[in-house]
Structure 1
Amino acid sequence: MSTRDLVLSALFAAIIVALGLLPPISIGIIPVPITAQSLGVMLAGVVLGAKRGAIAVLIVVVLVAIGLPVLSGGRGGLAVFVGPTAGFFIGWIFAAYVTGYLSERLVKAEQTGLAQGIGFFIASVAGGVVVLYAFGIAWLAIAANLGFTKAFLGSMGFIPGDLVKAVVAALVGRAVMVGYPLLPQRS
């Protein structure tokens, strides 16, 4: 991994942390708030690709593990890893990787802008919604003792916002391809 890759990963880790400054919104059905940080996870995958995007999220995970309050609502520390949101938090790593992997496969420089945007959107939904929810709902059902059905149904309240985040990630991914064409050359 080059110095450039590490710098880009650290930059996106900082973006994910900065998105944590926006206060969480509780929906009351399940003990998981709506946060903007999942947008940062999608952006890391779309812009950086699988490897660098996952490393960006791993940097955030390490910051949380050492106790820094970098998650939405000022949370941090080892308690995050056993709370009801831990599945979503750990799922960020896999979400960024899958989003980046699919972005690398679905989006090519020679495609039209619309095709690129659609490819980024599909990658963001597959990684940032489907993969993330698989981890989050499974852990939530166990940790909060809700049962799978209630955890699943309660998580459906996040879908509209996450689809908006996927659109934003697709638009940003497309803008980066146009404005900074060397960045998508992922390793």
Structure 2
Amino acid sequence: MLGLPGSISVLGGVPITAQTLGVMLAGAVLGARLGALALAVLLALVAVGLPLLSGGTGGLGVFLGPSAGYLAGWVLGAAAVGCIVHLGGRRPTAVRTAVAMLVGGIAVVYAVGIPVQSLVTRLPLAQTAYTSLVFLPGDLLKAAIATAIVMTLVRGYPRAFRRASGWTTAPRDVAGSTAP
């Protein structure tokens, strides 16, 4: 999802990619720790030049441009999605998953991305935030799609979500050893 080459132009030619959908799914399916780690590894591969971002871009230059903050926001966003979806180690619910997509997949990514974009473009923060609103309808649609995908996966593969919760990959007993 993150490296799909194409985009769909809507709302006056603004390209909408599947990248934030991938961020949302990484956190929800892999959990907070592994979702964030997966995005960090992806960004490390991009930094060394692999063309893994939408449109086949890669290299250190992408971390110096207006989208640099959004890329950093992906890691934090995936972690936030994973934390909310798997809150308290419980099975994901549709409401909690939808909230996770909105908070982690959109709000966190925007909260990191917009200030960096404002800094790089030397535009006022309010103006940058206002112009970023054009992406919100597409991101809301992706949040709905991600929620539907996750809930379908939870119903079809409920055991897969047992170990995705929180920042641990396996429960520990009182003595600290990993449980079977």
Name the TM-score, length of structure 1 as normaliser: 0.81
Deviations 1:75-115 (A, max 9, x none): 10000111011011111000000010111117833x8xxxx
Query: Counterpart of 1:103?
Result: 85
Question: In 1, distance between residues paired with 2:119 and 2:10?
Answer: 20
CA 1:107 to 1:161, structure 2 compared with 1: closer, same or farther past 3 Å?
A: farther
**Residue identity in the other structure for 1:73:** G
- The structure number with the bigger radius of gyration is 2
Question: In 2, distance between residues paired with 1:55 and 1:167?
Answer: 24
**Residue identity in the other structure for 2:128:** A
Does the 8 A contact of 1:106 with 1:120 survive in 2? no
Structure 1 moving runs of 4+ over 4 Å? 24-29
Does the 8 A contact of 1:64 with 1:71 survive in 2? yes
Aligned 1:51-90 pairs, distance under 5 A: 51-90=33-72
Pairwise CA distance, 1:118: 1.5
Query: Counterpart of 1:145?
Result: 122
- Which one of 42, 51, 72 corresponds to residue 24 of structure 2? 42
Question: In 2, distance between residues paired with 1:33 and 1:144?
Answer: 19
The structure where helix makes up a greater share of residues is: 1
CA 1:25 to 1:57, structure 2 compared with 1: closer, same or farther past 3 Å?
A: farther
The aligned length equals 164
Question: In 1, distance between residues paired with 2:125 and 2:8?
Answer: 23
Pairwise CA distance, 1:28: 7.7
Query: Counterpart of 1:162?
Result: 139
Query: Counterpart of 1:180?
Result: 157
Q: Structure 1: which 5+ runs fail to align?
A: 1-14
Deviations 1:134-176 (A, max 9, x none): 0110001000111101100011111111111111111111111
Q: Does 1:22 align with 2:14?
A: no
Identity %: 40
